[in-house]
Structure 1
Amino acid sequence: MPRRQQPTARQQRLGAELRKLREAAGLKGRDAAALLGTDSAQVSQIEAGLAGLSEERLCRIAAHYTCSDEELVEALAAMAGNRTRGWWEEYRGRLPTPYLDLAELEHHSSYRWDADFLHIPGLLQTEEYARALFSYVNPEFPAEEVDRRVEHRMRRKVIIERTDPIPYETVIHEAALRINVGSREATRAQLARVLELSEADHVTVRLIPFAQEGFAGAGSAMVYAGGPLPRLDTVVRDGPHGTVFVDAEAQLGRFRTLFRKVRAASLEQDRSRDFIRRLAKEL
């Protein structure tokens, strides 16, 4: 397969998992190359996500690495074989790469958790709310650039709005619901949208009120995307220097624990809905 110029986060993740298998087997890159009848450069490119490989060849590699985890091998083989070029590819070169990587990650996710404390999570945002947010954060952007970002965010909602949606759970702090990102009318419409989506069987919305005691997790905002196996989960976090995709097993365990703690601090879904309705009436 030809060398990729810019591998996606998913392709890089597959390569990284293969590197972990090789290292667990105690093999150097040159050892793996000899087993596969190729050279060290090719192995390096595969592990960097710069070169693809077939499902059959991946299974051969796993056998050479004496990997006995059949579920993991099957999941990695599926990643290697699935070369879907989804709707997000329309934005390549038009939006930053992390936007595309997030959409691809969501497309392949088995479930999704969100925790947010200052803004409504992206999958629940109305178009007007998203536009006000992008316009404020990036005031120098021309209107067409804001339009692209809003359009992309609205299209990402397909994972919870399609006929076979993934399970989605989000924990939102009261602060995020009270901040008028746009107009008062836009905020009221946004709360109505959150309530509407929360009625779906596959969507769970929980609220943390200001009055909640013992909650110190406001720095735990995250997007948690479930993979085919817990080892292949991914956490996405926005930082001052851009978007970070976290996939180290120890870190995944830490974020799973953090989400459970945040969830434990929230109201049950019915009480959360009642709380949001009361907030909406105050506007």
Structure 2
Amino acid sequence: MAPRRAPTARRLRLGTELRRLRERAGMTAVEAARTLGTTQAQISNIEANRFGVSADRVRTLGVIYGCTDDALVDALADMAADRTRGWWEEYRDILPSPHLDLAEMEHHAAALRVAQVINIPGLLQIPEHARALFREAVPALRPHEIEHRVSHRIKRQVVLFRERPVPYIAIVHEAALRMQFGGREVTRAQLDHLIEVSDQPNITLRVIPFDGTSFPTAGHGLDYAHGAVIALDTAQLDTSHGSELIDAAGKLETYRLVLDRMEQVALQPVPSRDLVHRIAKSV
């Protein structure tokens, strides 16, 4: 079997989860290979996703490792069986891989929760707002690079409006609503768009007002994708050093608590929309 080229973050996650199952079973790669009737190199290649793995083999490994979480094994088998190439692959040689990883994560998510303090969430941005943000990138982007990023960001939004739209909770601080990226007209259009899309049944907008209580955050954007099972959740952090995907169980629990705390201090959906409307009128 020929080695796989450039495995996606989702495929790498499959290998990581299979390694975790083996390690929880207290088995070495040599012992797993002996039980499976293969070589240590084959086990290592599966876990590193240098070679593909079938859904049947994933289920066999689940049995070998004594995994009693049937839902997890089913989810991993589904990941192995899914060989489709998403729309984001057309950007493979155009954008840095973290952009593609984020789109893939959102596409497969069972639900999404995001938190932003100084920016409008990417899935709720209009093109003009996104373009204004990318123009401020450091190092500076060339015009065609900006347009590639804008088109990719807008295409990501399909997850909110497809036949089976993903449930989406956006927690946004009032500061983000008052930032005038692109000028007053763009800001007003962006806020009007927020009001419009927040009326979608799958989209929940929660605003943390300036006069709200304190909450835990470092100011970085946080995207949280709920997987088919909690063990397959993924968090994505947006930092000045780039994007980072997180799948460690302890860290994921921390980020869930952060989002829970932020939701507790945020306004309910109707007052949130009213606040956005008042700010839009004042721009």
State if a TM-score over 0.5 links the two structures.
Answer: yes
Once the two structures are superposed, residues 205-229 of structure 1 have per-residue CA deviations (whole angstroms, 9 ceiling, x without a partner) of 0111111133353536310001000
**Contact kept in structure 1, 2:225 and 2:235, CA below 8 Å:** yes
The aligned counterpart of 2:196 is 196
**Contact kept in structure 2, 1:117 and 1:218, CA below 8 Å:** no
The aligned counterpart of 1:234 is 234
The aligned counterpart of 2:248 is 248
The aligned counterpart of 1:164 is 164
- Name the amino acid aligned to 2:269: Q
The aligned counterpart of 2:223 is 223
User: So what's the TM-score if we normalise by structure 1?
Assistant: 0.97
Q: Which runs of 4+ in 1 moved over 6 A?
A: none
| Bigger mean CA deviation after superposition, 242-251 or 123-132 | 242-251
**Contact kept in structure 2, 1:224 and 1:233, CA below 8 Å:** yes
For the pair 1:176 / 2:176, whether they are aligned, the reply is yes
The aligned counterpart of 2:114 is 114
Once the two structures are superposed, residues 22-81 of structure 1 have per-residue CA deviations (whole angstroms, 9 ceiling, x without a partner) of 011111111111122221122111111222111111111111111111111101000000
- Name the amino acid aligned to 1:8: T
- Deviation (angstroms), 1:246: 0.6
For the pair 1:67 / 2:31, whether they are aligned, the reply is no
Quick one: distance in 2 between partners of 1:46 and 1:216? Answer: 38
Q: How does 1:263-274 map to 2 (within 5 A)?
A: 263-274=263-274
Q: How does 1:1-283 map to 2 (within 5 A)?
A: 1-138=1-138, 140-217=140-217, 219=219, 221-283=221-283
User: So what's the TM-score if we normalise by structure 2?
Assistant: 0.97
Structure 1 gaps of 5+ residues are none
Quick one: distance in 2 between partners of 1:77 and 1:247? Answer: 18
Quick one: distance in 2 between partners of 1:46 and 1:239? Answer: 31
Quick one: distance in 2 between partners of 1:214 and 1:89? Answer: 40
**Contact kept in structure 1, 2:54 and 2:80, CA below 8 Å:** yes
Aligned residues: 283
The residue matched to 1:157 in structure 2 has which SS? helix
**Contact kept in structure 1, 2:114 and 2:121, CA below 8 Å:** yes
**Contact kept in structure 1, 2:221 and 2:239, CA below 8 Å:** no
Quick one: distance in 1 between partners of 2:139 and 2:16? Answer: 37
Quick one: distance in 2 between partners of 1:164 and 1:50? Answer: 32
- Deviation (angstroms), 1:91: 0.5
Once the two structures are superposed, residues 135-166 of structure 1 have per-residue CA deviations (whole angstroms, 9 ceiling, x without a partner) of 11146322111110000000000000112101
- Deviation (angstroms), 1:112: 0.4
Once the two structures are superposed, residues 101-150 of structure 1 have per-residue CA deviations (whole angstroms, 9 ceiling, x without a partner) of 11111111100001000100000000000001011114632211111000
